Amino acid sequence: MTDTAKPNDIAKGLEGVVFTESKLTFIDGAQGILTHLGIPIEEWAEKSTFEEVSYALLHTKLPSAAELAQFDAELRANREVPAKLLADVAAYPRTANPMQALRTAISELGLHDAQSEDTSDEARYAISVRLIAQFSTVIAAVARALGGQAAVAPRADLTHAANFLYMLTGKEPTTEQARLFDIALVLHADHGMNASTFTAIATASTLSDMYSCVVSAIGALKGPLHGGANEAVMGMLDEIGTPDKAEAYITAKLDNKEKIMGVGHRVYKNFDPRSRVLRDYAEHVASKEGKSNYYQILETIERIVVERMGSRGIYPNVDFYSGTVYADLGIKKEYFTPIFALARISGWCASVIEYTRDNRLLRPDALYSGATNQHYVELKDRK
């Protein structure tokens, strides 16, 4: 910062700082509104697919039927990854953090891409299509490798969501399972200037390559303050155990001013609209599969949190219910954050492409608060 800056001029966490324009995502946290290209997230979830959302974010427009079919065909054609990469993933330590493994694998994936160093708009787009397609293959391979299983080859006859579940489990999902997972991907595809998207843009602003931008984003998402909240929610549910213990558990947490996982959001001071969509699906799956314990616990937690904290703008967020949806699909909780990345790759790529079309190197200032008027002291004279 300049010499005239004062400590109260610092925007901690860059909160409230506007550094660019975007046509992708709008969020009104006070009203609980989230839109992509001006279209409410609820409509995307109800009527669209992850393939279409990905196209819309990359092109900033809805596709025609022909454009969507071509884009879908490109995704299906680019699902395979190099055999050498799969062999390397299979050799990762079984104790590796899945996000560590994903970060490493995507970095290596760039080594196999002859176009990886090309930072032109056209190359960034082509790489984005490949990354969206291949993220699912890499994540499924990581999950199977760390579990001691061989990778399952992708199938071009399945949708993006169905193909991932097939590669993850080795079994073709039902139409309902595939659609449920597709909706979860749609809800997580982009969310404005979150930490990982900002990190990708910061890297892109140096005119670095697309793979470096995405690996940077993965590193940011790995942090528990960004990704991983839905995994923590599942840990909380397991700790509570049964619905009859939920009220006492949450009341004690609130009385002791302890954090409730999946509750509260930096942006939203109302219900996260994505959580409303997932709540309905979580309820449906719980009743259909006879797995009502998790949902009943969450329902109790939500009621108490809203009663006691709603007036302060603290409500359940998207992570509150997403974990139960993933768990009901047979996905282990340690892979919830990689699946977050599986969805957010579209938003990361779209944001990098959008920002670098009118690029400016990101170079913020910091207010110096250290010592002044000091002089070097010879090593022999130091105490």
pLDDT for the residue numbered 154 = 98
pLDDT single digits (tens) 58-102: 999 999 999 999 999 999 999 999 999 999 999 999 999 999 999
Indicate whether 16 belongs to any domain: no
Q: Are residues 186 and 236 in the same domain?
A: no
Range of the domain at 254: 229-328
- pLDDT bracket for residue 233 (50, 70, 90): confident
pLDDT for the residue numbered 116 = 97
pLDDT for the residue numbered 342 = 98
> Whose structure tokens read 């489990």?
169
Q: Are residues 38 and 169 in the same domain?
A: yes
Cross-strand pairs, 263: 316
CA distance 97 to 99: 5
Please indicate whether residue 233 or residue 25 has the higher confidence score (pLDDT).
Answer: 25
The 3-state DSSP class for residue 67 equals helix
pLDDT for the residue numbered 285 = 76
Q: pTM for this one?
A: 0.92
The residues near 1 (Cβ < 8 Å, ≥ 6 apart) are 9, 10, 365, 366, 367, 368
With contact defined as beta carbons under 8 Å apart, do 315 and 271 qualify? yes
CA distance 109 to 112: 5
How much is the average pLDDT of 157-178?
97
Strands 39-40 and 33-36, how do they pair?
A: antiparallel
Q: Are residues 217 and 130 in the same domain?
A: yes
Query: Widest CA span of the chain, in angstroms?
Result: 77
pLDDT for the residue numbered 102 = 98
Q: Are residues 234 and 284 in the same domain?
A: yes
How much is the average pLDDT of 326-339?
91
Phi, psi of 30 (to 5 degrees): -70, -35
pLDDT for the residue numbered 290 = 58
Q: Are residues 53 and 125 in the same domain?
A: yes
Cross-strand pairs, 35: 26, 40
Indicate whether 144 belongs to any domain: yes
Indicate whether 367 belongs to any domain: no
- Quick one: 309 exposed, middle or buried, by C-beta within 10 A (0-12, 13-18, 19+)? middle
Of the candidates 97, 88, 95, 92, the one whose C-alpha atom is nearest the C-alpha of residue 333 is: 97
Of the candidates 292, 341, 285, the one whose C-alpha atom is nearest the C-alpha of residue 142 is: 341
- In CATH, what number is assigned to the domain containing residue 156? 1.10.580.10
13-27 residues labelled b (16+ CB within 10 A) or e (exposed): eeeeeeeeebebbeb
How much is the average pLDDT of 175-190?
95
Catalytically active residues are 226, 265, 319
Q: Are residues 159 and 179 in the same domain?
A: yes
Q: Are residues 189 and 263 in the same domain?
A: no
pLDDT for the residue numbered 2 = 53
Indicate whether 46 belongs to any domain: yes
Q: Are residues 170 and 73 in the same domain?
A: yes
Lowest mean pLDDT among 66-70, 184-188, 214-218, 331-335: 331-335
Q: Are residues 286 and 244 in the same domain?
A: yes
CA-based radius of gyration for the chain: 22
Q: 336-356 and 98-111 helices cross at what angle (nearest 10)?
A: 40
Using the Cα atoms of residue 199, residue 79, residue 190 and residue 227 in order, give the sign of their dihedral: negative
Q: What is the mean pLDDT of the chain?
A: 92
Q: Are residues 310 and 170 in the same domain?
A: no
Please determine, for residue 288, whether its predicted confidence score (pLDDT) is greater than 80.
no
Question: Which tokens hold the place of 99?
Answer: 């996000």
Indicate whether 318 belongs to any domain: yes
Domains identified in the chain, total number? 2
**What percent of the chain is predicted at pLDDT more than 90?**
72
Indicate whether 297 belongs to any domain: yes
pLDDT for the residue numbered 292 = 67
Indicate whether 45 belongs to any domain: yes
Indicate whether 6 belongs to any domain: no
- In CATH, what number is assigned to the domain containing residue 255? 1.10.230.10
pLDDT for the residue numbered 76 = 98
Q: Are residues 114 and 233 in the same domain?
A: no
pLDDT for the residue numbered 268 = 81
> Whose structure tokens read 């409500």?
315
With contact defined as beta carbons under 8 Å apart, do 74 and 129 qualify? yes
Q: Are residues 277 and 197 in the same domain?
A: no
